[in-house]
Chains A and B, each alone.
Chain A
């Protein structure tokens, strides 16, 4: 499994370099309070998106299947949410191709990482969880402000989950050296 782990790790590292840029670009286009310097709203969460925060002890005690399963689930949700945010922004900020391009690129990378993780799970002989619709039917009634908030949570969590994926894969890399 060393090779798929190494590939996934490289991709996660590459993604990690761009996550803060994506978040900053996103906030910059949303107006106050999002574009205010130092904006942060950690209490904003989405029920459809699992949070990346976990206690270190719990995280460290995860077995391979749980570890990859959590990440797999999160990035599956993220790809769907990034699609939603992209659609929202195409509606709310049609005149900002840079933001739309960055959202699209982030979604494609998340999908790539999903594929890499599936390869690792296959190599480790773990079952691959089925693809689920994480968004459900709640997506359409949101007001414009709620959609802005939603985009913020998604881009923020995308960064957090990428950070966590780098740690996950680093750990697996050490565990399964080539």
Chain B
């Protein structure tokens, strides 16, 4: 960092002194001592720069001298550095020497002195040191400002891992100062009362903006600090290499390695030095540099790449022969000439490298991503190469690269070009298969063929020719041309005996014909079906070899068995084949595939040989049968699932499982305990025969509740768990009970209906409202025992004039009656209350004047009064109070049965108008009939007038 160079002063044109003077020098040593010593300070780099001169040298004299330099710190006796500096001294030259101090120069006073000795062969022995110069004092602190505290060195740039000395200088003797490196307290040593020194060893890289070191004076809270810019170690350039592409320019490249990590300050420089020519190039890029090759045919080159920054210089060397580092440019103008079906000529040009040079070129031909041909060709200017053994109508990629032939260094980049060979006629007959159907006397032949592979087609297939040759009749030919990319056609033929030739055609020609016979009888003999087990790889099918007359076999199947279009596939096999593996990615698990194996006879007529069916992977049944229950008895029931399509299940149904749940702890014979996926326990019947579609569950308990569930199973497992069906077995005797109970209930109902319909008649017969006295048995008794004169009074003979009314008031039964006058003057002439349906406490008023005998016979009073009559009579007796009062008590004849105090007896005239009196209260407050009263006509009035239903007004009171 410090500048060590010695700069010669400008020489002066002074006369050459004679040699004699020089001799005198040798004879007597002159005092050759350093003089005019000056010391200056570079604070940034912490360098002391010394400059001095040596007097007493003659003109043009050059002497080797050694200068001993002593540096002391703090005081002159404390020498910290002694160095002998040897150099050749010229006349009038100013000598310079620099020294970098580990301790910042501001931290302490420094003293410098030197002495010298001549160390030259011209000067004979003995050599002795001259006198020391006087001490030169260097004290930077004097120039510091008035601040109380300083920290040094300022903004120093160091490499990671180096050792740094830091110091602070304080103006006072107060030592209450702490110093920190990024917040961590540092421990130092006191250099003098005002200076403390800290040695920071192995400085770390902390951040790209530098490391803070600061000191804090606790008195006055002064903070002073410095920033140490720590760089990562500058790396040596790696992979230094030079090459030329045209023998005119050398291009040197290298990897500069990792960055120094600092954001500023360090920009590396790169220089290239060639030692043979002594030329130098300053590189402007960090990773490469160009060097112009001189036209003087320099062969050997010795390069030194020097990389450096402020802290470090790094060099790498490279020695090489120019012609050994030739990296040709990529070939150009690549073309293909004379392209045929199998050959092509590739031509290209190269960039010349010097004069008369030869390049080695490499040609590669790739087909479908693979290198199929590789060839080396020697080229001067134009390269040419014949590419052979190609396939017709195929696209190829060809590429070429070149290297310097005399000394291989590196291949050029590839230059690529694609070409396609010419078409040729298809090489193989198409694989043809047919499907024959009879329809309305015609023969519908569907032909299928597979497209030829690229290798077989040898070009773009344009159309297929189908030639039909009729065999039965006169030989006629019919040609059909079907454009590509059709893969089949349908022919409707009159008859079924045809020979069909199919060829594929491209622009060049026709393929060999594929011949197939369509016979009248397709040979569909009854062939049994055999099950075959598929795997993930496909179906391994085998068949019995046919003894003779077979030209091949065809395996045919539908790729989409459920689809009406079927997607017919076939596989053609040779006559010796007895087995094949039908593999396809499209085989779906759980789909049943049917395979038909045909043998092709020598007449090219296919006939069905075997049928196979199977699954590539069997699955558990996808659905469960719909089960019907029948024949339910007390101990059994029958299940049937005749409609279940076992054929369309995703596996061969091997049988059925019947699960039965009941309250019985033990399973019935024929079943065993099983645990369902939902962890419920039930009994399981196994039906091993997949064709069995009915099942009788027996030995059941009468009047018990059962649940059952039926599911099929394949080799994989059972169908999905579904809902259980509930069944309850009937009671053993219930049917007998039903036979007796039902008719009984029916007859009772019938009687009840009859009774209801004839109720009126019954009433008339059994309990009429008004009994007929003539029918009374009493009459006959009277007649026979007593007075034979006694007769029943004819109503017609009576003339009524008065009425006797009996009123028995209870009045407490209904609140409505409370609103009535408590002892009202109405006369209740009412039949006996319902509570007393019999001949209760009835009161009878009778005009004895008319017929005493009738009274005696007690014909009244015990006749029950039907309740229906009540409202009618109520209406009849309605009359005003005064009318009632007017009637005297004389007419009242109290009977013994009537409780005293409960009865008011009034007489209402039979002639009194029924409309007279307070009628308005009647409909709203119909008095409860509380007593049985009887009114007997005192005079004969027409029945129609007295009969209750004739007064409609009274109906209201009833409701």
Contact = CB atoms under 8 A, between A and B. Distances in A.
A132 interface: no
Contact of A93 (B155, B209, B222): B209
B180 A33 contact: yes
B507 to A, nearest CB: 68
Contacts of B212: 30-34, 145, 148
B164 interface: no
Interface in B184-211: 206-211
Interface string A4-21: 000000000000000000
A32 B155 contact: no
A33 B215 CA distance: 10
A144 interface: yes
Interface in A44-78: 44
B584 to A, nearest CB: 63
Interface string B260-304: 000110000000000000000000000000000000000000000
Contacts of A93: 209
A81 B225 CA distance: 21
A95 interface: yes
Given A32-B212, A33-B223, A145-B212, A94 B264 contact: yes
Contacts of B180: 32-33
A145 B264 contact: no
B901 interface: no
Contact of B183 (A33, A44, A144, A145): A33
Interface stretch (A35-43, A108-116, A123-131, A158-166): A35-43
Given A31-B209, A32-B183, A94 B225 contact: no
Contacts of B211: 31
B207 A43 contact: no
A65 B214 CA distance: 43
A31 B221 contact: no
A91 B223 contact: no
A33 B213 CA distance: 9
B182 interface: yes
Nearest to B181: A32
A149 B222 CA distance: 11
B220 A43 contact: yes
Contact of A43 (B155, B183, B222): B222
Contacts of A33: 180, 183, 212, 214, 216, 223, 225
Contact of B223 (A29, A31, A41, A95): A41
Interface in A73-105: 91-95
**Which of B182, B225, B263 counts the most chain A CB atoms within 10 A?**
B225
A138 B227 CA distance: 20
Given A143-B226, A143-B227, A145-B226, A95 B221 contact: no
Interface string A143-178: 111001100000000000000000000000000000
Contacts of B227: 143-145, 148
A43 B154 CA distance: 22
A31 B151 CA distance: 17
A149 B151 CA distance: 14
B158 to A, nearest CB: 14
Contacts of B264: 91, 94
Given A32-B180, A92-B209, A94-B263, A43 B221 contact: yes
B226 A31 contact: no
Contacts of A36: 183
A44 B209 contact: no
A151 B182 CA distance: 19
Interface string B215-258: 01000111111110000000000000000000000000000000
Contacts of B220: 43
A83 to B, nearest CB: 20
A42 B221 contact: yes
Nearest to B225: A145
Nearest to A149: B223
Given A43-B221, A94-B264, A145 B209 contact: no
Nearest to A40: B221
A92 B208 CA distance: 9
Contacts, number: 63
Given A31-B182, A36-B183, A145 B214 contact: yes
B209 A143 contact: no
Nearest to A36: B183
Contacts of B223: 33, 41, 43-44, 149
Majority-rule SS of A interface residues: loop
A103 B750 CA distance: 113
Interface residues of B, number: 25
Contacts of B154: 143-145
A145 B182 CA distance: 12
Given A92-B209, A93-B209, A143 B221 contact: no
A94 B226 CA distance: 19
Contacts of A42: 221
A144 B155 contact: yes
A70 to B, nearest CB: 26
A145 B155 CA distance: 8
A142 to B, nearest CB: 9
A31 B229 CA distance: 13
Nearest to B206: A31
Contact of A31 (B207, B222, B263): B207
A144 B156 CA distance: 10
A95 B208 CA distance: 9
A42 B222 CA distance: 9
A145 B224 contact: yes
Nearest to A32: B183
A153 to B, nearest CB: 11
A46 to B, nearest CB: 13
Nearest to B216: A33
Nearest to B220: A43
B360 to A, nearest CB: 52
Contacts of A94: 263-264
Nearest to A152: B223
B182 A32 contact: yes
A33 B221 CA distance: 13
A95 B263 contact: yes
B22 to A, nearest CB: 53
Contacts of A145: 151, 154-155, 212, 214, 224-227
B383 to A, nearest CB: 54
A30 B475 CA distance: 106
A44 B221 CA distance: 9
A37 B501 CA distance: 97
Nearest to B210: A144
A29 B227 CA distance: 14
Contacts of B206: 31
A18 B180 CA distance: 31
A29 B209 CA distance: 9
B182 A143 contact: no
B955 to A, nearest CB: 99
Nearest to B229: A144
Nearest to B263: A94
Nearest to B208: A95
A152 B221 CA distance: 15
Nearest to A42: B221
A103 to B, nearest CB: 16
Contacts of A143: 154-155, 226-227
Nearest to A43: B221
A63 B180 CA distance: 47
25 contacts: A29-B209, A31-B206, A31-B207, A32-B183, A33-B212, A33-B216, A33-B225, A34-B212, A36-B183, A43-B220, A43-B221, A91-B264, A92-B210, A93-B209, A94-B263, A95-B208, A95-B209, A95-B263, A143-B154, A143-B226, A145-B154, A145-B212, A145-B214, A148-B212, A148-B227
8 nearest CB pairs, A to B? A32-B183, A144-B227, A145-B225, A143-B154, A31-B212, A43-B221, A32-B182, A144-B155
Given A143-B227, A145-B212, 18 more contacts: A29-B209, A31-B182, A31-B206, A32-B180, A32-B214, A33-B212, A33-B216, A34-B212, A36-B183, A42-B221, A43-B221, A94-B263, A95-B208, A144-B155, A144-B227, A145-B155, A145-B225, A149-B225
